[in-house]
Amino acid sequence: MVVLVLAALVCLTAAATVWLIRTRATAENDPDATFWYAFAGLCVAAPLILIPALTSSFTSLALFAVALATTVATHKLVVRRQITAAATDRRRQLSLALSTANHEHDALMTRWGRYELDPAAAIDFPAMSDVRVPETSALAKAARAAASLRHGPGCLTRMSLTGDVPADDGVAEYQRAVAMLAEALETAEKAAQGCLARQ
């Protein structure tokens, strides 16, 4: 019975020490924290393992094996948990970036669509519908490029994983395409207003 209690205490000490070293020491941003957590864990575990050696060396070896196995298992568990948390955070960042780019893309297409759907705007700014105008042609190309990336590799449903951390998978490229679309729309609007002023 005493051996089981000692084994439980050794497990608890080893697991707590590894958990503190892997999570708290990095969170505290203190270079000495790792040493002190390891030292404190060793100060608690060493007597639990060495004192039973006075009666049975086999018991001490078994307790040492339990401590070692618990340390390795806890380390793997904590590392896996940290990797999963990093992947979840990265996925959340990519989702937010993609959502923002999608909203901006929709707003830009609505803004451009006003020149097609509003008869007054279509009459006042005919250059916005005429792809023979270089600025409007560039706008159409930018809109096509952004639309192809929106439904292509940047979709969240197709977000790939490299290891356990999600890759960018085209989100940054889609953001650049949306920024180029905004710039092309601004240029086309200025050109259309310039055509109106000349008339």
User: What local confidence, expressed as pLDDT, does residue 183 receive?
Assistant: 96
Q: Tokens representing 147?
A: 């639309």
Predicted confidence (pLDDT) at residue 160 exceeds the cutoff of 70: no
pLDDT digits (tens, 9 = 90+) for 61-78: 999 999 999 999 999 999
pLDDT digits (tens, 9 = 90+) for 18-52: 999 988 877 777 878 889 999 999 999 999 999 99
User: What local confidence, expressed as pLDDT, does residue 196 receive?
Assistant: 60
Alpha-carbon distance of 180 to 162, in angstroms, equals 29
Q: List beta partners, residue 165.
A: 162
In Å, how far from its chain's centre is CA 148? 24
Predicted confidence (pLDDT) at residue 185 exceeds the cutoff of 90: yes
H/E segment holding residue 4: helix 2-19
- Decide: 86 and 160 in contact? Cβ < 8 Å: no
